[in-house]
Amino acid sequence: MIAVPFHQNADAVRGFVLFSRFAAVLTGMVALVVLAGWWWSVPLLTTLVPGQHAMSANAAVAFALSGAALLLAQDFVPARWRLGPWLSLAVMGIGVTTLVEHVWSVDAGIDQLFHDPAPRVAGRAPGRMAAPVAIALALLGALGWLVSRRRYLYLREVIAVVLLGIVVTGLASYAVALAGRVNGPFEQVPLHTLLLLLLVVLGWLASAPTTGFTRIATADTFGGALARRLLLPSLLLPVVFVFVFELSQSLLGLPETLTLAFVALGSGGAVAGLVWWVASLLDTLERQRMESAQLRSDAGTDALTGLANRRAFDDRLAGLLRGQRERDALFSLLMLDLDRFKTYNDDFGHLAGDQVLRITGHLLLAALRPSDMAARYGGEEFVLLLPDTNAAGATEVAARVLDAFRGFAWPQRMVTISIGVAQAAFDDAPADLIQRADAALYDAKHAGRNRVVTATVPAGARRAT
């Protein structure tokens, strides 16, 4: 089975790389803003959402390190400055240390960067990030290290999926927490922490656009185009519905039954919208594919006869000669020329001559196998390429073509054809093979036309075995 090359969409690859750099810069900027809020005691800068929980200082440090690691892992950074793996290990260390503090109720001293009396009043350790954030940062550091080192592809994909699951669960839980219905593990997780985590995870995935999940998303295929457009919306759509459901009840006071009905209506509309979007996208891609195929076909097809043109013939001949040299794959070439075609044109006009050329194309195609090629070489000259066919087999094909011309009911008068046959030799260049077939065609013309002449197979026509 022949492996099909996996092609990437160049624009998609560039877009993913640019997004990765954007995510790195934005993550670092947001983290620095939060740290500035702690430094100058400006609560608004630490929350970014008035009235909500602040991002802890050590979480902000971890995100600043993550943004720096992601930026320094880019290809444009000189090798000596690629500190991404070590910065990612520092992020993982912050997450693991905080997680240890939660599990064993100890104070490792990393929570005291800035004075924060609010948690102590609430009975929590001051400056300590929530346990889900600690877990996420430990995994985020591991993800950054694996991507930076280009190691353990499947493990880093699993970690990325787990992190995305944490983000989606946290966003959905955030909506429930806003409604005051639950005291879950995500209750103390700030919204901008979850959004920043999502941004960094997607940034790390996008930084390696030709491997793993992103290899599919950047593929130059229908599946790649769908993945680029639908994966993120489908990932966030359930979160949106939870937000709508919970906020409708908490803010508007709607009954649960009515809220469920509205959410069902909205989800149905959203699914219908996605289906319409996919259908429109597939329609556009299919039209582009058909147009591209038509352009390729037009570029290699003779408009009058429907046969391959000289350019397509040259490409196929080069490929067959390459196979002859590499795999000892024999083939033969036939040169054909309509007899006294100029006289036919003079007697009946060029429109009648064009009709003869079109009929010639049909007769040649009818005499060939699917693997053979018939091409218009120029004017009234045609060529046939017959893979896996020696001189004797090619002569039989030529005789079959002659019989087809002799038996056809031509509209004005009988049209005949002369054919020269040549089998390819191992060391042939295209000009050598064409010259032998053309010389055989010349002999057929001078022997009285309407016949086949086969060129002598040169010594070494096949590689010695």
Catalytic residue annotation = 380
Please enumerate in sequence order all residues whose Cβ is within 8 A of that of 236, keeping only pairs 6 or more positions apart, or say none.
168, 171
Burial 86-103 (b: 16+ CB within 10 A, else e): ebbbbbbbbbbbbbebee
Other Cβ atoms closer than 10 A to 321? 21
In 3D space, the residue among 404, 433, 416, 408 whose CA is nearest the CA of residue 337 turns out to be 416
Give the pair of three-digit tokens for residue 322.
């390459």
Q: Sign of dihedral through CA atoms 222, 228, 229, 234?
A: positive
**Could you give the CA distance from residue 155 to residue 145 in angstroms, rounded to a whole number?**
11
Q: How many other CB atoms sit within 10 Å of the CB of residue 351?
A: 8
Q: What is the CA radius of gyration of the chain?
A: 36
- Contacts of 81-85 with C-beta under 8 Å, sequence gap 24+, read 82/148, 84/144, 84/145, 84/147, 84/148, 85/144, 85/145, 85/148, 85/149
Pairing, β 331-338 against β 373-378: unpaired
The two structure tokens encoding residue 326: 């590499």
Tell me the pairing of strands 331-338 and 417-423: antiparallel
